[in-house]
Amino acid sequence: MTDALLSLPPLREVIARHGLAAKKSLGQNFLLDGNLLDRIARVPGPLAGASVYEVGPGPGGLTRALLRAGANVVAVERDDRALPALAELGALAPGRLQVVGGDALDYDPRGTLPGPLHIVANLPYNIGTALLVRWLTIEPWPPWWASLTLMFQKEVAQRIVAAAGSDAYGRLSVLAQFRSRPRIAFDLPAKAFTPPPKVASAVVHIVPMDPVLDVPMARIEAVTAAAFGQRRKMLRASLKTLNGGIEALQRTGIDPERRAETLTVAEFAALAAEL
């Protein structure tokens, strides 16, 4: 780490100098506390020499922490206003920060850095869930990413880690837990952000693992979409929309009068295997 990375100007100064007032249309809420940013960068484990993909760096607060941790970072940023500030940061860490201007929904970071990438991001709220589902459902598996360390609204984070039978349990829970292990690393209050959002946030850490059953992810997506698409209905009604759904229920011996939120991830996998 260079001394320059330890003596950077405060983020508030960078934001003011570059006119980076947070845009609601981009889902921006900036985290300025260096201690919290360093804490996020520690969640994946040691990053010295590791490759990291960051989405939506904004003024570069988390990027600073990742560089201080010794990571090599590729960051994609849609807000052109932030690019000069990120360029300044990159000049202080030669060869360790590659900034791409564009939309993360259209960008594939594979091939930009060597080895498996750790994805670490304070995700813009308006695209966070879409990106997560994309990363969870990619093929082949194991994925090209080594771990995900992502900030979400706390409600979304609770849905990711929820157990069957809980109010937060739903399709996102099953997709996240079918072939990965998610946990909430820590919570952050709304007041930690500028501007403060209306809800609390949480950092989620996810590592890939072998799937519960060797079932194509497309089948898991299909059965959870049908079951949770009408979650107040019994499975015998909600799975009628799925080709072979009722027959799959019969073969697995799952009570057709149960509702989707009562099924474990293993039971959803068993249903998918029978489709």
Residues making up the binding site for S-adenosyl-L-methionine: 29, 31, 56, 77, 103, 122
Q: Which two tokens stand for residue 140?
A: 């082949």
Distance separating alpha carbons of residues 109 and 127, to the nearest angstrom: 17
Order of strands across the sheet that contains 180-188: 97-101, 72-77, 51-55, 117-122, 145-153, 201-208, 180-188
Classify the phi-psi angles of 218: left when phi > 0, otherwise alpha if psi is within -120 to 50, otherwise beta. alpha
Distance of CA 240 to the CA centre of its chain: 32
Task: Match 């950077």 to its residue by tokens.
Answer: 8
Q: Which two tokens stand for residue 269?
A: 């996998």
Which helix (DSSP H) or strand (DSSP E) does residue 250 occupy? helix 245-252
Instruction: Using alpha carbons, select from 127, 126, 130, 100 the residue that is nearest to residue 113.
Output: 100
Task: Match 């990053």 to its residue by tokens.
Answer: 47
Distance separating alpha carbons of residues 52 and 74, to the nearest angstrom: 6
Binding positions are 29, 31, 56, 77, 103, 122
Q: Which residues of 241-261 are buried (b: 16+ CB within 10 A; e: fewer)?
A: ebeebeebbeeeebeeeebbb
Reduce the DSSP state of residue 39 to 3 states and report it: helix
